[in-house]
Every structure is written in C-alpha cells, then in structure tokens.
Amino acid sequence: MQRPKTLYDKIVDAHCVRSLDSAGRQLLLYVDRTVLNEYTSPQAFTALRDARRGVWRPDAALAVVDHVNPTASPRVRAMADPGGQTQTDYFAENCRDFGIELYDILHPLQGIEHVVMTETGRVMPGTVIAAGDSHTTTYGALGCLGFGIGTSDIEHYLATQTVIYRRLDTLAVDVQGALGPGVTPKDVVMALIRQIGAAGATGFAVEFRGPAIEAMSVEGRMTICNMAVECGARGAIVAPDERVFDYLQPKIDLGPALWERAVADWRGLRSDPDAPFDQHAVIEGAAIEPMVTWGTSPDQALPITAAVPDPASETDPDLRRDLERSLSYMGLRPGMRLTDIPIDRAFIGSCTNARIEDLRSAAEVVRGRRIAAGVRGMVVPGSSAVKRQAELEGLDRVFAEAGFEWRQSGCSMCLAMNDDVLAPGERCASSTNRNFEGRQGVGGRTHLMSPAMVAAAALSGRLADSRAIAVGG
C-alpha cells in the first residue's frame, strides 16, 4: 500500500522533473505558469538577452502592469514618474521580443496580477505557479501551489520552465466551527498570524481545512491564502471542491468532455485521510473577532475590542524593545483602546482584499452614510474587470456618495510604488497585507483590517467595530 500523502506533496511529486539531492529535499520543479510584473522582471529579461537565451514557453506567461501605474482617472499610458515609465516601456519591449501576452495600463483586463490570473481562469487546481511577487500564494484557494520567487528565479523559470525547489514541511491549519456574524476571511488569517507569529509558517506549506474553510467562498479563500505569506508560508492550499469548479467553469473554455475529465481529476486533489503533517494548528472560528493591527508587523494584531499592549508587561528584553519601537513608530500609548485610535486615511484595495465580494462588503457598511470629516477615503478595485462589475452593481456610486474616491485598478497604496502614498505621520485604515514601517509611505502608519472594517473606520474617523454599524443604513 502507498504511503498516505498530503495534497502539497502530491502536487510537488507530480511536478518533480528530477531530484537534485539524495534526500529528495531539493528538486527541479516543473512550473505550469507564471505572471510577470514590470518591477521584478526587467533584470531577468536582461539576463536572458545577455546570455542569448529564449523563453521556454511564452504561452505559459502573462505580463501585467500593476505595481507602478497611477490609479487616477482617466487612464493614460504616459507616466509622470520617469522610473515607472522606463519600467513599463522595457516591460512592453520584453513582452514583444519574447512573445509574451501583455495587459498594459490601457488594456481592459489590466489589474493586480493575482486578481487578473484568477479571474481570467489561468489558475487551475493541481498546477504550480511561481511568480515574482510574494503574494502568489493566493492561488492556493484554487488548489494550485503558488509561491513567490525573486528575479534570478524568474530568469531560471523563463529559460527552463522549472525552478530549483526545496520541499517544504507541511502545516495543517484547521478552522473549526463557523465564523460569527460580521467576521470575514481577513479576520481568520489575521487571527492565524497573531497566533503563530510572523515566522510561524516559515519553511512550511499550509493546508487550510475545516468547516469554516469549506463554507467560505473561493474569493474568501484567496484572501486567506494570499496573506498566509505574512506568517512565512511559501505555499497555502485549500483542497479544491465544488465551489472551486463552479468558480472556474465560466472562466475556462475546454469543451464539455475535457472539462469533465479535468473535474474528475481535480476531485482527487486532497490530502489522504492519514496523511502526515509536520505540524498542526487549530483555530476556533466562533472565537474570532474582527481584527486590526496596532504595530509594524502583521502578527502585532488584536481583536478590535482590545487595547494597545503595554511593553512593560513583556518580560523578554528583546521582545520589549521591539514592542517599544513599534509603538513609538505608530504613535500609540500603551493601554489605549483600539477604538480610540483616530485615522487620517482609509484605503480599500490590494490583491488581498479588492475583489468584488470585498467591495460589496465595504459598500454595505457605507451605503447611505458619509465618511468622517477630515478622513480621505480611497477605493482601488483589484482589477479593471472588478471595477466594471462594481459599476454595474452601482457600488461606485455608493462609495462616491459616501465620500470615497473611486479609482482605477493597481497595487496602489498597498506598497505605494506609484503616487498613492501616505504623508509622514498619516494614519491609515487599510485592507492591505503589510503594516511594515514605511510600507505605505515614509513615516506612514498602517492598520491592517478587513474591507468592512476599513469602511467602519472611515465612517467613524477612528478604528471601529464594523459589527456595531447596522448594514444598509
């Protein structure tokens, strides 16, 4: 009888071209697809040009401009930022010369790379996608092993269709029970990161499972898999189910016979009942409350009902020093209630939380209300397709009437590589994924939370519990 295997190991084994060591830890891994962006790919293309190498499978790559483009309307190709212009020009030149499909700034399917990949049906169960962005873990929501790579590995992938890969340990995360009212997938992953720490899954591939995951939409699972990298996971998978097949069916054109064959295969993509995981974590779904970060690392998070921690109660001197530094950067006093923290900006966007379901949940909170005086609110849809869908549903008007700016899609102020940035000292309620020092602008202060929680904070002018705001006004 065969040894029981995890879903992760099944996918890795199915993509192993050759073993690179006697222990079977290092291997040459076949990669099905990639998505390229304008800022991590240029040096990889230059290296190919210098070595006179071609791209192994141009059909398997998609290129999307997302990190540096402005999000103001109307869209224009020319950029005020010369660096961004050079990057997008060179990107277009590389795509043309190497035969890679490009969604540039003016393309109707432009958007954040991970939003675009999933919504255009390019992410299929059982595949491997490696890409030059850490949030490639998003694709695990569809039963795909997605992981981020650096520019040297982009070059290696483009030239060989493979990457040199070290097999990870496996971590099973069981989300038990059901989530409470007003608790979202973002809160689940933020609770996990708080529980296991910012390096809690370093060296691991995570499999999310349990009733709360099974009951979750595919887009919700994307949020969880996306942000699993913030606790170090280099792969985060959910076994594909009917929700996934229903999500993909309208996006993929295979003809009925091939589609049925694919689905029959995908149904087998699950961990064997006795598959050995190296570690386990359990989260009680009903115990999760809406979460916010108060510090400068994603694990510095608490339920919105809590207060800012006091470094004086930390006995480890290194941890106390890190806590003090975080609070100093964030301009917070120990012991103050999180709901007493005033904000200057509210940002709804990013590959974590700017899909249509995210925009709907935030719109329900702000519908018929106005954001607080002195708060600047921005909504940056995850893709041009998400933007069009939201406009069909009238969400753009809901946000605009509440006082939010309704903008064009892109990574925008998640990492502030374009002109959407916080001023020094500005404090932002943000539906993004990283609250690092300077992430949204030098001296900017980021509080991570779900889109509904950003909406609630924007209305209140301070961090707020979205559950206290009656939906639909």
Partner 1 sequence: MAGPAAPLPAANIDTDIIMPKRYLKGVDRAGLREGVFHDLRFGAAGDPDPTFILNQPAWADAAFLVVGPNFGCGSSREHAVWGLLQLGVRALIGTNFAGIFFDNCARNGLVALALDLDQIGPLLALVSDPARNQLTIDLAAQTVTTAVGALPFRIDPLLKTMLLEGLDSVATTLKHQSEIHAFESSYLEANPWLLKDARTTRRQT
Contact flag: residue 92 with partner 1 (CB under 8 A): no
The three-point CA angle 219-296-188 to 5° equals: 30
Q: Quick one: which segment of 27-35, 170-178, 184-192, 271-279 binds partner 1 (CB under 8 A)?
A: 27-35
Q: Report the run of H or E that residue 71 belongs to, with start and end.
A: none
**Near partner 1 in 353-382, by CB under 8 A:** none
Contact flag: residue 90 with partner 1 (CB under 8 A): yes
| Size of interface with partner 1, in residues (CB under 8 A) | 87
**Near partner 1 in 406-435, by CB under 8 A:** 415-417, 424, 434
Q: Looking at 170, 297, 353, 383, which residue binds partner 1 (CB under 8 A)?
A: 297
Tokens found for residue 363: 């719109």
Q: Looking at 272, 322, 393, 426, which residue binds partner 1 (CB under 8 A)?
A: 322
Cα–Cα dist 441/430, whole Å: 13
Least distance CB 310 / partner 1 (angstroms): 19
Give the Cβ contact number of residue 210 at 10 Å. 18
**Near partner 1 in 211-240, by CB under 8 A:** 232, 234
In contact, 65 and 35? CB cutoff 8 Å: no
Residue 26 or 176 with smaller CB distance to partner 1: 26
Contact flag: residue 126 with partner 1 (CB under 8 A): yes
Phi, psi of 443 (to 5 degrees): 80, 0
Q: Looking at 64, 95, 115, 124, which residue binds partner 1 (CB under 8 A)?
A: 124
**Near partner 1 in 34-63, by CB under 8 A:** 39-40, 42-43, 46, 51, 53, 56-57, 59-60
Phi, psi of 335 (to 5 degrees): 90, -15
Whether the upstream peptide bond of residue 185 has omega within 30° of 0, thus cis, is no
Q: Looking at 74, 181, 250, 273, which residue binds partner 1 (CB under 8 A)?
A: 250
The one-letter amino acid code at 76 reads V
Q: Looking at 180, 211, 438, 461, which residue binds partner 1 (CB under 8 A)?
A: 438
**Near partner 1 in 175-214, by CB under 8 A:** 198-199, 202-203
Residue 56 or 98 with smaller CB distance to partner 1: 56
Contact flag: residue 68 with partner 1 (CB under 8 A): yes
Cα–Cα dist 376/397, whole Å: 16
Q: Quick one: which segment of 29-37, 217-225, 337-345, 391-399 binds partner 1 (CB under 8 A)?
A: 29-37
Residue 219 or 299 with smaller CB distance to partner 1: 299
Q: Quick one: which segment of 76-84, 302-310, 349-357, 395-403 binds partner 1 (CB under 8 A)?
A: 76-84
Least distance CB 469 / partner 1 (angstroms): 32
Contact flag: residue 101 with partner 1 (CB under 8 A): yes
Q: Looking at 86, 176, 195, 389, which residue binds partner 1 (CB under 8 A)?
A: 86
Contact flag: residue 166 with partner 1 (CB under 8 A): yes
The one-letter amino acid code at 354 reads A
Cα–Cα dist 34/162, whole Å: 11
Burial of residue 422 (number of CB atoms within 10 Å: 0-12, 13-18, 19+)? buried
Give the Cβ contact number of residue 9 at 10 Å. 19
The one-letter amino acid code at 366 reads V
CA distances from 287 to 153, 168, 177, 291 (A): 41, 30, 9, 12
Q: Looking at 83, 342, 394, 425, which residue binds partner 1 (CB under 8 A)?
A: 83
443: Cβ contacts below 8 Å, ≥ 6 apart: 422, 423, 424, 425, 426
